[in-house]
Structure formats: structure tokens, C-alpha cells
Structure 1
Amino acid sequence: MASFRFIHAADLHLDSPFIGLRGLDDGMRSFIQDSTFRALERLVRLAVSEQVDFMVISGDIYDSSNISLRAQLRFLDAMESLAREGIAVYVIHGNHDPLDSAKLAVKLPPNVQEFGAEPSRVTAVRRSDKREVAQITGMSYPTSKVTDNIALTYPQATRELYHIGLLHANVDGDAQHETYAPCTRKDLSQAGYHYWALGHIHTRRMLQESPYIVYPGNIQGRHIKETGPKGCYVVDVDEGYNTVLSFHELDSMRWSLVQAPIDGCGSVDEWRQYLERTLGQVAEENREKLSLVRVMITGRSPVHRQLENGYVLDELLSEMRRREAAKAKTQGYGGCVWIEGFALQSGDVLDLDRLLAEDSFAGELLRLARKEQSEQRLLADDGIVPYALAPLMEHAEIRALLERMPAEELLDWLRRAEELTLTLLTQESKRGEGAGI
């Protein structure tokens, strides 16, 4: 067999709306909304510069089944650019862009092979001499909800070629993603393929190396749960089927969580200066990218009391955003750091170990709160959270929002309630001691 090179990409989510970002001026909003298209352009340039023989895209090219014409035309332009270079593209559709999508209408050039609603197989060739190098098997989602184990319907490897399977699926039950096309690594291994090119999970993961079972992640992070570098894999296969993967970044903006502890800070301004130095380091590390960060405020200090009321953080957020927007207008978005928001996880100065050991109301409250801070207890029928939320659950719209809320957000509510209550209790106790009660 001849050696060859291909790109494995997935989850392009073109024209993602980036809903929920606030405080953006028109320029910043436009830059962010175009980020998936910039990642696509970089993907095309990478394919050309790396002289790949073909590319596979493992689902969710588009962000919604109500596909925008703009997204389709941008993808068409990209595929035509690859066609001019003689690069074939093999595509499956996933839960965000199934075959029954309302506006899937633009005709793609002949270098693009889109798989249908049943597993099928095609032969890929090397660009330079048209030698057959790989068998590629894939299947697109006919509708947005495919809950069967479709991997079991893929045909077994047969011919003496390298076998690649394109699959948009949740392998081994990742709880952070919807369980579409659920399967196991064992299911995939038994098919006899050399490389499973997966999509659906937006985190880059190498699940297995024999055979290769790989998630490249999405090409551009879209919210704070999609942190870190985003891109695709360039895959080299030699005559002996030895496979080497190389990750390439494609994102032009990057999401991250930034820790900003208040420990040891005697004033809000001292903490602000520390925060600005920290964000300066983020800018230095991402000179060519826009950084979108959530600042995690942790630790214990009297400064927490000033941050707790919200006004200080709101004003600081507004001012720091104004500065970055002004900087972007003069130097571009590379090296700018936009604060998506603050997550207040800090607290007042409290001796939690002493409170946990105390036979007091505050101690009992703390022990109870800690007991409830697990996903097993969080929504238990006899748990505190369901009891506290019961009045809200009587309202249909609020109930729908709460039922979709991730467990981690409910846990954050519980932690904030714990902190606020303990602070109020200990302050009341100190006032009582001062009055000689």
C-alpha cells in the first residue's frame, strides 16, 4: 500500500450565533460571529499547505438544522477551493445538520462525497498518482435524533486497504453530551477498521490507538465550556499502516477559565491590580488570538464583602471591557482579553474546619450544605435543593429553565447560598459578642 496523508475535522458549526454574550460593540460582535468561518478558511489553507490527499469531516458542518444560506455559501466556497487543488472531501451529517434539514439546498462540487442515511463505502485515492489508499465508510443522520447504535450497522473491513470509519456518535457514554448514536470502543474495534474518525464530542480526545478512535474536537470554541486550543488532526499513514497524528490549531479566539484569588488582598484595588497582571499574561500567551475569559474569583478575604454586592464587579467589568474594545480598534483583536463574566466563588474570612467541628447552628448548616453538594444528593427527592425550588417549579417557564440547568450551576447556587448564610450568621454572632449578649 502507498503512504498517504489526510485531515480529520469535525463539528465546524458554521455560523454559530454565539448567543448570550453581552456588552459587545459592533466590531467585537462581528469578529466573534465570523470566527467559525475564519476557522474554516484556516482549515482549507492547512489542507493545501500540508498537501493532504483528502479530508474527512465527521458531522455538524452547520450549527442548526435551519441552516443559513450564508453558512452554505461559505462552505461551498471552501469546497471549491479544495477542488481546485484536487483534494477530495468525505462528509457525514450529524444531529445539528441532518439530511432532513430545512435548507440543505446548495449543490456542492464533485470533489465532495456526502454519505447518505445508510452506511456506505467509497475508495479514496492518493492525489499524486491516483493509487487507491483507503476505504472510507460513513453514514449521515437522517434526522436530528439518532439514538440507535448505528456503529453496529457499519460493514466489516474487507479489502487490503486502510479502513477509515466516519461516525458522529457518543462513544462510551460521555455524560456532558447528548447520547446520540451511542456505542462503545469494543463495538468499533470489532469492525476491523484502522481509524475511526469521530465527531460530536467537542473536546479533543484520543480514546484508543489500536485501532485509532479519535475525536478532533470542534474547530472553534463557541462558549466557556469549550476552552483551550481548537482545530483538527493531520494524519500520516505509511506503507505499513503505521499512523501518526499531528494536531493543528485553527481557532482565532480562545475561551479560558482564569483564577483570580482574593487571598492576601487587603483591598479591591489590590485585587484589581493582580487581576490585570493575570489577564496581561493571558494576552501575552495569545498574541494572535482574541481571548474570552471567565474570571473565577476564589479564596477568602474581607474583600469578598465588597465583591458580594455585585456593584463593584459590574463597574469593573464595564471598565475593563471598554479598555479592551478601545485597544481592539487600534491594534486588532489579537492579544485582546474580553471578560465573558465573573464567577464569584470566594468567601469572607471564616475558619471552616472549626465550624465543621462545632456543635452550633452554623456548624450544622455547613455540614448539611456539604452533604448536599453532590450530584447524587442534588436532586434527590428528600434533598434541600428540590425542596427550596418547589415553589418555582409550579411555573411552567421557570420549571423548563430549571430542568435544563446543568448540575454544576445548581451546585454553584448551593455554594453561594452556603457562603452568604454563613457570613450573615458569623457577622450576627460577632455583633452579639460585641454587645455582651
Structure 2
Amino acid sequence: MKFIHAGDLHLGNAFLDLSQLPEWVLENVQSATMRALESLIDTAIHAQVDMILFPGDIYDTHVLNPHIQWLFQHQMERLLAAHIPVVLGFGNHDYTDTVNEQLHLPKNVTVLANQVQTVRLVTQNGENVAISGFSYPQRHLQTSLVADFPDRQAGEDFHIGMYHGAQDHGDYAQFTLSDLNHKHYQYWALGHIHVRQTLQAEPFIGYSGNLQGLNRTEIGPKGFYLVQSNQQGQLIPEFQACAPVIWTQVHVQLTDQMNWAEVIDQIRNQIQRHNKFQLVEIDVEQTPQKLVAGLQSAAFMNQLAERSQVTDNFWIHRVEVKMTVQGSQLMELGAENWQAQKQGLVTSAHLEDLGLKLVDDLELYDYFQKSKTHQDIEQAMDEVIQAIQRGQWHAD
């Protein structure tokens, strides 16, 4: 037997972490989730799989988008032509209590009900397969639904569970490995967690992760599992990358001898070219102090954007600055010298000069006039200075 396990497609996700993108980048990211699905369908047809399982969050929202639904329907029709059945459930993002009101999908697609439902299929090799799962009727499910799943029955060559939820806690149909194992299924196709994760190797219980990374925290290749049975009757998943857009982090070191043109060249040269389009976050480690303000400015991001070309297979969407200043790099601040300077800094008169006199809120004004407030500010300054002298202070 051979099938695909693909969770969390999130079709129509708008990549909200990104802004002010040029048209050529926008075209790449706006179509990413659908192109990932197209790649999955290509693999399914080429590999002649027996079925595809989608355990929840097909769409990014429960508010129906006719265009996105039409695109999904078209891909399902490709599978119909290839005689490949599909079983899908809705999750906490695309939940619905009106399963039957969805856009009409072709007859090869079974949409799971809001209660646990079992679908029975026969593979190309004549194996009898039972697939049990459910759709979310609402965003949160505070209780486990595992007890509603049937035990594996005699005459079933394989029984597969589809479950959209979180392990042990939370508002998303929580479950335990012990409860899942009591059903004696050969495979649990989990959805909801966007990280590829194996909770148990045999029988397999795990998440395939999402099909396409959706934000800067979802780094690296994304895709689905192509699952095949072996001679021992085990179902073995193999990861297949299909995301056309990959979020990456690149670590860069700069020196204070560099001018801004050299800084930009160094950053661009550190990005490894990839056959997939990359959304790159630059992490600048141990940043020279004189470069910090410039690297964090909108003007610098504009310069990076101006250097970008349509032929680039990447876009730098963020620069993260980490400044580590060693004690040897600081001017000498002896304890007595610092105490004298500190007392001159935190006074009512100095705070007035810094803008306190412009404050209209009398309670706030009185707060900054209190000696206790001055002591708290001095203590916070002491902690920062000590951290700098130990080389443990970072400006992010």
C-alpha cells in the first residue's frame, strides 16, 4: 500500500509577516500554498498512490473563499482522473458545522463528518483499508475524541487514524499516545502542529508538518509524507519536500572597517543559492557598535531592496542585530567614577530637561519626581553597565 499524509495546507494564507514587497516577490509568496499543493498532486499521480489523507486545516480560515475552493476542487479533479481517492477533515482553522454546504467536490473526495466517521477503501493490490477521523465543528475542542474511534476490526488489512489535535493538553482535541495505541491502528496521521514530528515510530504516530512555511518561525523545507507498507506490514513514512518558498536564517559577521556597500555585499554573498525561493532573515552576530543604528534603519532595508533583482531567488525580509560589547572595548568605568556620573544623570532637573516638564499627566509627573523612582532607574542602569562589562549585554 502507498498513500500520502499531508496536514495543514492552509490554502490562501496571506503571509502576514511580510510588507512592502515588490511585485515579483509578491507573486511568489501569494501563490505558494497552492503551488505546494500542486506539487503534492504531481507526486501522487506519478507515484500512483492508493489514497491521500488530509487531517485538517485545508484552508487558512473557516470563512469560505470561493476562488481558493475552486482551485482546490480543480486539484481534486486531477486526482479523480487518476482514480486516486481522498479523505479529508476540517481542523481548527477551517472548522465548519455545515460540512454538506462546502463547494461540491468530485466523487473521489470524502469529507469527514463532525463526529468520528470510518471510510473503507480497497487498494490497487486488493488490501482492505479502514480510515477513521473527524472534522472540527468549531474552533476549539476541549475534550479528546479518541474514545469515539472504533477499534481495529478483523478483516482489515490496515486501519489508519486521522486526528487533528495536540498531545496531552490544550483546546484542540487533546490526546495521549496510550489512548491512540489502544486502538491498535497501524498508522496515525496527525495534523495541527506545523513542525514535522514523530511521536512514536512503530506503529507510526506523528505530524507531517505543514505543506508550506507560513512565517519566519517555520524555517526550512516543508512538505508531506509518502507512506508505504513493507513486507512486515509496517507503514513507513518518507518526507517529501514540496514548499516552493522556504524561510531561512543566515548568520553574518561584520567588521567596523566595512563601509555600507561592503556590508550589503557581505550579507548578499552569505546567502546560499537554492533552487527554491527563499525568504531570508539576516542575523548579524557581534555587530560593531557603529553599525547598529544603520542596520536597524528603514534606509538600510531600502538599500537592500534596491540591490535586489528579479533574477535573485531570495528576498531579505528582516535584519536582526545582536550587539555584544566586551569590557575591553568600553571606556574605563571605575566604580567611583561611575557612581559620580550616575548621580548627575538621574536628578529631577535632568529629567525635566529630557522632557518631563512636557508631561501633562500629574500622576506620571509626580512618579518621576520621587527619590524611589530615581533609585530604581539608577539600579537598572547599574545592571546594564555590569552586563556590558561582562560582555553579556545584547541589543536586539
Q: TM-score, normalised by structure 1?
A: 0.72
Structure-1 residue corresponding to 2:85: 88
Specify the structure having the higher radius of gyration (Cα): 2
State the Cα distance separating 1:104 from its structure 2 match: 5.6
User: Is 2:207 the counterpart of 1:215?
Assistant: yes
Structure-2 residue corresponding to 1:8: 5
Give the AA of the match of 2:73.
Answer: L
Cα distance change of structure 1 residues 359 and 84 upon mapping to structure 2, 3 Å threshold = farther
Aligned partner (choices 323, 346, 350) of residue 307 of structure 2: 323
Structure-2 residue corresponding to 1:114: 111
Cα distance change of structure 1 residues 420 and 294 upon mapping to structure 2, 3 Å threshold = farther
Within 2, Cα distance between the matches of 1:359 and 1:5?
A: 75
Structure-2 residue corresponding to 1:382: none
Aligned partner (choices 165, 183, 186) of residue 161 of structure 2: 165
Cα distance change of structure 1 residues 91 and 420 upon mapping to structure 2, 3 Å threshold = farther
State the Cα distance separating 1:271 from its structure 2 match: 4.3
Structure-2 residue corresponding to 1:435: none
Q: Deviations over 1:127-170 (max 9, x none)?
A: 3x5x2331110111111111211123212112332110000011
Cα distance change of structure 1 residues 145 and 236 upon mapping to structure 2, 3 Å threshold = same
State the Cα distance separating 1:105 from its structure 2 match: 2.9
Within 2, Cα distance between the matches of 1:165 and 1:184?
A: 14
Give the AA of the match of 2:150.
Answer: P
Aligned partner (choices 341, 344, 347) of residue 324 of structure 2: 347
Within 2, Cα distance between the matches of 1:118 and 1:103?
A: 13
Structure-1 residue corresponding to 2:182: 190
Give the AA of the match of 1:149.
Answer: S
Name the SS of the counterpart of 2:25 in structure 1.
helix
Name the SS of the counterpart of 2:150 in structure 1.
coil
Cα distance change of structure 1 residues 88 and 319 upon mapping to structure 2, 3 Å threshold = same
For the aligned residues, what is the CA RMSD? 3.2
Asked whether the 8 Å contact 1:65–1:96 carries over to 2, the reply is yes
User: Is 2:90 the counterpart of 1:98?
Assistant: no
State the Cα distance separating 1:272 from its structure 2 match: 3.7
Within 1, Cα distance between the matches of 2:141 and 2:387?
A: 50
Structure-2 residue corresponding to 1:266: 257
Cα distance change of structure 1 residues 309 and 163 upon mapping to structure 2, 3 Å threshold = same
List gaps (5 residues or longer) in structure 2: 340-360, 362-379, 390-396
List gaps (5 residues or longer) in structure 1: 363-390, 392-416, 427-437
Structure-1 residue corresponding to 2:352: none
Cα distance change of structure 1 residues 209 and 310 upon mapping to structure 2, 3 Å threshold = closer
Structure-2 residue corresponding to 1:42: 39
Name the SS of the counterpart of 2:110 in structure 1.
strand
Cα distance change of structure 1 residues 308 and 148 upon mapping to structure 2, 3 Å threshold = same
Structure-1 residue corresponding to 2:25: 28
Within 1, Cα distance between the matches of 2:140 and 2:90?
A: 12
Listed as ranges, the matches of 1:71-82 within 5 Å are: 71-82=68-79
Name the SS of the counterpart of 1:260 in structure 2.
strand
Percent identity of paired positions between Structure 1 and Structure 2: 29
Within 1, Cα distance between the matches of 2:59 and 2:323?
A: 39
State the Cα distance separating 1:239 from its structure 2 match: 5.0
Asked whether the 8 Å contact 1:66–1:102 carries over to 2, the reply is no
Aligned partner (choices 215, 224, 228) of residue 216 of structure 2: 224
Q: Deviations over 1:367-418 (max 9, x none)?
A: xxxxxxxxxxxxxxxxxxxxxxxx9xxxxxxxxxxxxxxxxxxxxxxxxx99
User: Is 2:277 the counterpart of 1:290?
Assistant: yes
Q: TM-score, normalised by structure 2?
A: 0.79
Asked whether the 8 Å contact 1:231–1:247 carries over to 2, the reply is yes
Structure-2 residue corresponding to 1:146: 141
Within 2, Cα distance between the matches of 1:246 and 1:133?
A: 22
- Is the deviation greater in 23-32 or in 65-74? 23-32
Within 2, Cα distance between the matches of 1:46 and 1:77?
A: 16
User: Is 2:334 the counterpart of 1:337?
Assistant: no
State the Cα distance separating 1:57 from its structure 2 match: 0.5
Name the SS of the counterpart of 1:188 in structure 2.
helix
Structure-2 residue corresponding to 1:308: 293
Cα distance change of structure 1 residues 228 and 425 upon mapping to structure 2, 3 Å threshold = closer
Within 1, Cα distance between the matches of 2:183 and 2:165?
A: 16
State the Cα distance separating 1:17 from its structure 2 match: 1.3
Within 2, Cα distance between the matches of 1:52 and 1:424?
A: 59
Name the SS of the counterpart of 2:152 in structure 1.
coil
Cα distance change of structure 1 residues 111 and 277 upon mapping to structure 2, 3 Å threshold = same
Name the SS of the counterpart of 2:227 in structure 1.
strand
State the Cα distance separating 1:195 from its structure 2 match: 0.3
Aligned partner (choices 126, 132, 139) of residue 127 of structure 2: 132
Cα distance change of structure 1 residues 148 and 20 upon mapping to structure 2, 3 Å threshold = same
- Is the deviation greater in 17-26 or in 246-255? 17-26
**Count of residues paired in the alignment:** 347
